[in-house]
Structure 1
C-alpha cells in the first residue's frame, strides 16, 4: 500500500505518514485531519492567519493542498 504524508502549515513536515489504499483515501484522511486540527486548535485561524495541509506521496511529490481561511466581510 502506498504511504502518504500530511504536513500542516503550523507544524514540522510529517515524517511518518500513513499507508492508505489510494489518493482518494488520502484526500479523505486529510479532510478529517484538518477537522481535528481546527477542533483541537481553533486559534490556528485567528488573526487573519490561514491554515493548510499539504499531502505528498512516498517520493515527496506534492499531490494536493487543503487551504482553510477565515475571510472577514468588507467593512461597510
Structure 2
C-alpha cells in the first residue's frame, strides 16, 4: 500500500514525517481535502487577508503528487481598509 505525506506550509510549516498508508491517489486526495478543512477550521481566527496556505501531498520519495492552495485575497473595494 502506498504511503503519502501531507505537508502543510502556512508560516508555521508542518512536515509529515510519518506519512499515511492509503490504497490509492484518489483516497489521498479525499484525505487531503478533509484534513485541510479541519486545519483551516481550527486556525480560522488566525488567518488574515493575503495569507497563503498550502498542503503538498508527496509519495515516500518526496515527489509532490498534488497540492491544495488557499489564499484570502481582498477586493479593490477594501484596499484602503485595515487588514
TM-score, shorter chain, exceeding 0.5: yes
Counterpart contact for 1:38–1:44, Cα < 8 Å: no
Structure 1 residue 42 displacement after superposition: 0.9
How far did residue 71 of structure 1 move?
Answer: 1.3
Return closer, same or farther for 1:62/1:44 CA change in 2, 3 Å cut-off. Answer: farther
Count of aligned pairs between the two proteins: 76
Contiguous gaps of at least 5 residues in structure 2 = 79-83
**Counterpart residue number, 2:51:** 49
| Other structure's SS at 2:6 match | strand
TM-score by length of 2: 0.82
CA RMSD of aligned residues (A): 1.5
Residue 81 of structure 2 is matched in structure 1 by none
Question: 1:64 and 1:70, CA in 2 relative to 1: closer, same or farther beyond 3 A?
Answer: same
| Structure 1 spans left out of the alignment, 5+ residues | none
Runs of 4+ in 1 over 4 A off after TM superposition: none
Give the match for residue 20 of structure 1: 22
Kept in 2, the 8 Å contact 1:3–1:17? The answer is yes
Larger radius of gyration: 2
When normalised by structure 1's length, the TM-score is: 0.89
